[in-house]
Amino acid sequence: NPHRVLFTLEPDSQLEETLAKETRSELKALLATLTPDDLAKIKQENAALELLQESEEDLSSLPTLELFDVPPDIEIIKPDKIKEITLSTCYDKATSGILYFTCPVGAGNIPIDLFPLVPFFAQAFTNSGTKKSSYSKIAETMDLYTGGVTLSPFSGSYFSKGADAHSFLALQGKSLDRNIDRLFDMMDEFVKEFGFQDQDRLKSLLLQYQSGMESSIVSAGHRYAISLSARHLSKASHINELWHGIDQFQFIKKFTTQLADPGTSKTALDTLSSNLTAIADSLFKRDNLKPAVIGSSQALHQADQRISQLHAQLNSQGNKDPEKSPGNTFYTPDINLNTQRPYDGWYTNTAVSFVGQSFKTVRITHKDSPGLAVISKILRSLYLHREIREKGGAYGGFAMYNTEEGIFSFGSYRDPHIKRTLDVYKKACDYITRGEFTQTDVKEAILQVCSDIDKPETPGPAAMKAFYRDITHLSNEIRQHFKDTLLKLDKKRIQEIAKTYFTIEEDQKGISVISSKVLLEEANKALEADNRPSLRLIKI
């Protein structure tokens, strides 16, 4: 059948404005039909709703845990010493016949100009084929014999007091014990025979990657807004924005623009292939791998044997930074960190807003850290939910405390407001410093934090988390001290901590908003009317 239909969907850039006009017209027409009695009834119902929203629910009849119900000690998972295994970190666990493999690979030797390309490299590494096999053949083998093989980038700060930034990629896979050799056949091929020569496949992956990020901007806009608002506060948060935020999307968008131009497409793909190969060459060196395996004792021996064979076939290479210790490539290269406070609005096609605000506090090693974690829970459940969701009409309001970087953030999701939400964030700081909460509220928040840090895990994932805690220097002593301090908190101590960190000036807080240009311009007018500076507008 030679007949074909090309059906093209083009987004309507005026849709938001058209819908807003229709809504205003409908409301105006509806208002014209209302009698004075109707208006009085609406005002009465509005007042009743506000009274209901402000009233406190009686929760005394509900069952609840007490702090003495919480185990005081953290769960400690240590590596097992397995006879004749010296290369891999091993965890001898009951994993129901599944072997888990993970191997962080230091990113310190990646050329600085290629650092923004790392997230796409991670996706292309296991999805673009190798020198020996096509992508389709590898995908078929992977689905048949494994639970998946992935490469994922991570950045952060070590939990030790030095707080140096680290960057690495984690190569991970799992399989049934009977398929261990199949799993490591694939690992061998990926590491030794990586290939980025299939340019049609690379182009397809790049366009898919851009499309996925573009669609996630609205579906996960609060995450992007918070990342933007915190990008100036630490080297690790800057890398997080570069790898996972709007910076990453703009970097990829520039690349795909070159692909769309027939005059530059071939050169762009050649450059991409060469750059991906350069990243791989800098990563897979003998002294740059820290493998770990989790499973039964017999499976661990079999896996370590295969890992040792692969390890012996790799070249050795130290780090390029003479100030770092030999073999340490998990550091973050010196990247120009712009410490200027963000105060910006990023516009795209959306009918709602995502409002992010972040400021610096202290990290998990500080005695005030548990209190900040509790404050985030109190603000989210007792204040932001009511003010941003119930009264403001947003889908959600958030308060988050990042123990690794010592950053406290506010965020809103699918929010009809911008200026009002920024005002709510300021009032939230006043709320917590005035102590408008009870000891019971503090207890409930402590229980929420405990549920986060004591979340039950199956043996495999729990051991993997323990391994990465060691990699990032999150010691059991730090974790236990955090929990000990957490369980001793009371309202007075929470208020003291709040007065220390939540009374800073507004100009010390990073603010980033993702919205439409129309809504941002309206917000700027409202800010100017309140004698506040306008947001700097930037197109996504």
Residue 294 confidence (pLDDT) above 60: yes
Residues 59 and 55: their CA atoms lie apart, in Å, by 12
Residue 35 confidence (pLDDT) above 60: yes
407-431 pLDDT, tens digit each: 999 999 999 999 999 999 999 999 9
Residue type, 332: T
Residue 322 confidence (pLDDT) above 50: no
- Give the pLDDT confidence score for residue 330 in this predicted structure: 87
Give the CATH superfamily of 89-312: Metalloenzyme, LuxS/M16 peptidase-like (3.30.830.10)
Going from N- to C-terminal start, the domains of the chain cover 89-312, 342-539
Select from 465, 497, 494 the least CA-distant residue to 74: 465
For all residues of the chain together, what is the average pLDDT?
Answer: 92
Residue 520 confidence (pLDDT) above 90: yes
The C-alpha R_g of the chain, in whole angstroms, comes to: 27
Please state, for a pLDDT cut of 70, what percent of the chain lies above it. Answer: 97
Q: Assign a CATH topology to domain 342-539.
A: Cytochrome Bc1 Complex; Chain A, domain 1 (3.30.830)
194-246 pLDDT, tens digit each: 989 999 999 999 999 999 999 999 999 999 999 999 999 999 999 999 999 99
444-502 pLDDT, tens digit each: 999 999 999 998 899 999 999 999 999 999 999 999 999 999 999 999 999 999 999 99
232-241 pLDDT, tens digit each: 999 999 999 9
**Residues in the chain, how many?**
540
The three-class DSSP label of residue 336 is: coil
What is the mean pLDDT of the segment spanning 81-99?
92
- Give the pLDDT confidence score for residue 317 in this predicted structure: 65
17-29 pLDDT, tens digit each: 788 889 989 999 9
- Give the pLDDT confidence score for residue 326 in this predicted structure: 46
- DSSP secondary structure code for residue 508 in this structure: G
SS3 for 172-222, per residue?
EEEEEHHHHHHHHHHHHHHHHCECCCCHHHHHHHHHHHHHHHHHHHHHCHH
- Give the pLDDT confidence score for residue 315 in this predicted structure: 85
142-187 pLDDT, tens digit each: 999 999 999 999 999 999 867 789 999 999 999 999 999 999 999 9
Residue 253 confidence (pLDDT) above 60: yes
Residue 261 confidence (pLDDT) above 50: yes
Band (pLDDT 50/70/90 cuts) for residue 319 is low
The set of long-range contacts for 448-457, using a CB threshold of 8 Å and a minimum separation of 24, is 448/377, 448/381, 449/370, 449/373, 449/374, 449/377, 449/486, 450/70, 450/483, 450/486, 450/487, 453/74, 453/479, 453/482, 453/483, 454/70, 454/71, 454/74, 454/75
Residue 320 confidence (pLDDT) above 70: no
- Give the pLDDT confidence score for residue 49 in this predicted structure: 85
Which tokens sit at 30?
């509806």
**Whether the Cβ atoms of residue 509 and residue 429 lie closer than 8 Å to each other:** no
- DSSP secondary structure code for residue 341 in this structure: P
Residue 432 confidence (pLDDT) above 90: yes
330-363 pLDDT, tens digit each: 888 888 888 899 999 999 989 899 999 999 999 9
- Give the pLDDT confidence score for residue 51 in this predicted structure: 83
- Terminus-to-terminus CA distance in the chain, angstroms? 43
C-alpha separations of 20 from 16, 24, 351, 353, 403 in Å: 6, 6, 9, 15, 41
From 21-35, 44-58, 249-263, the region with the lowest mean pLDDT = 44-58
